[in-house]
């Protein structure tokens, strides 16, 4: 394969020239990051076989290129305050309800003035919970390392109703009531059948691409296409609370598992239908929601104090 040539403003630009341009242009880096953030995050590799790069096994991620400044407005009409960070790092954020994952990134860019910010592991807007955010060039380059980590979720199912999006944001349809009530024992028995290695059909309302088109774009046009099943694994799932029609479960699963689809499938197995009313991601690998920060409480001047170091926690990959 020959050298890549990209046309820009009618003139051919070699890959080498483009590389030099990236060193001085934030625009190209920003566009590249936006494209990367919209890609599907499914990973078929077993997270227990994956190893993180040596880069992630150290604390602060310091290189000369990671010395950057935060320009923050203190008050309209007054001078701008510049804050200098000496390292890249990762933040644990508790994503608010009705925010997209990119909304979190956009908010942090706004308060810091830093463009090189990204996230790993997209959450649906209606969902809340743990989101890992990378600040700075080196951190954003390493975000893919987190995608293979196992996830834990707490999901609340609304039984007796279904949704075309499998969650509360879609068109809700009520199903006929069951002839006999659902008991705790029956629910636990059904839930146990979903444990282990399974295949799962991605929902139409998802960012997964088929033929270059995102599934949700087709779904919004009323188009449904055949989707190939993906491999997932449910390590643990148990009932946390039950008061019909609401059922809350805790799910520990492999990366790439669609919880909305799991909820829908459980509803079918229970023969009453269900959709995901609430969803919170409580853990990614060794990182827990208890250690996450409310994004609105982040202070740009103290950004480095919020950083977490992966270090010894990633010994789980040696098991």
Active site residues: 124
- The 3-class SS string of 103-119 reads HHHHHHHHHHCCCCEEE
How far is it, in rounded angstroms, from Cα 276 to Cα 163? 9
> Which residue has tokens 């949704």?
163
Give the three-class secondary structure for 190.
helix
Compute the distance between CA of residue 12 and CA of residue 221 in angstroms, rounded to an integer.
37
φ, ψ for residue 209 (rounded to 5)? -100, 135
What CA–CA distance (Å, rounded) separates 295 from 313? 23
Other CB atoms closer than 10 Å to residue 277's CB: what's the count?
Answer: 20
Element (H, E) at 244: none
Quote the CA–CA distance of 34 and 164 in Å, as a whole number. 28
Phi, psi of 218 (to 5 degrees): -70, -40
**Cα separation of 222 and 44, whole Å?**
29
Looking at the chain, the number of H-run helices and the number of E-run strands are 8, 18
- Long-range CB contacts for residues 110-115, cutoff 8 Å, separation at least 24: 111/72, 111/298, 111/300, 112/70, 112/72, 112/300, 112/303, 113/69, 113/70, 113/71, 113/72, 114/68, 114/70, 115/26, 115/29, 115/30, 115/33
Identify which of 308, 312, 311, 313 has the alpha carbon closest to the alpha carbon of residue 90.
308
Place of tokens 């969902």: 127
């Amino acid at each position: 394969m020959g050298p890549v040539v990209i046309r820009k403003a009618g003139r051919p630009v070699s890959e080498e020239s483009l590389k030099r341009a990236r060193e001085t242009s934030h625009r190209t880096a920003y566009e590249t990051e936006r494209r990367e953030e919209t890609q599907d995050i499914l990973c078929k590799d077993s997270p227990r076989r994956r190893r993180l790069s040596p880069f992630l096994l150290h604390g602060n991620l310091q290189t000369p290129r990671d010395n950057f400044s935060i320009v923050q407005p203190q008050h309209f009409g007054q001078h701008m305050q510049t804050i200098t960070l000496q390292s890249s790092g990762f933040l644990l954020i508790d994503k608010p309800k009705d925010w997209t994952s990119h909304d979190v990134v956009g908010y942090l860019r706004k308060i810091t003035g830093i463009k090189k910010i990204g996230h790993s592991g997209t959450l649906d807007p209606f969902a809340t919970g743990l989101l890992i955010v990378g600040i700075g060039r080196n951190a954003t380059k390493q975000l893919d390392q987190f995608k293979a980590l196992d996830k834990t979720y707490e999901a609340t199912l609304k039984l007796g109703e279904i949704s075309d999006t499998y969650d509360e944001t879609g068109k809700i349809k009520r199903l006929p009531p069951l002839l006999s009530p659902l008991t705790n024992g029956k629910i636990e028995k059904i839930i146990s059948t979903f444990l282990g290695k399974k295949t799962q059909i991605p929902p139409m309302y998802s960012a997964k691409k088929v033929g270059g088109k995102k599934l949700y774009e087709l779904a919004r046009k009323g188009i449904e296409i055949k989707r190939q099943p993906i491999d997932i694994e449910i390590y643990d799932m148990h009932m946390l609370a039950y008061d019909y029609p609401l059922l809350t479960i805790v799910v520990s699963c492999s990366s790439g598992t669609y919880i909305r689809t799991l909820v829908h499938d459980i509803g079918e197995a229970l023969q009453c239908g269900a959709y995901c009313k609430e969803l919170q991601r409580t853990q990614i690998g060794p990182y827990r929601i208890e250690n996450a920060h409310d994004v609105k409480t982040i202070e740009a001047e103290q950004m480095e104090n919020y950083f977490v170091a992966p270090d010894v926690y990633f010994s789980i990959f040696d098991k």
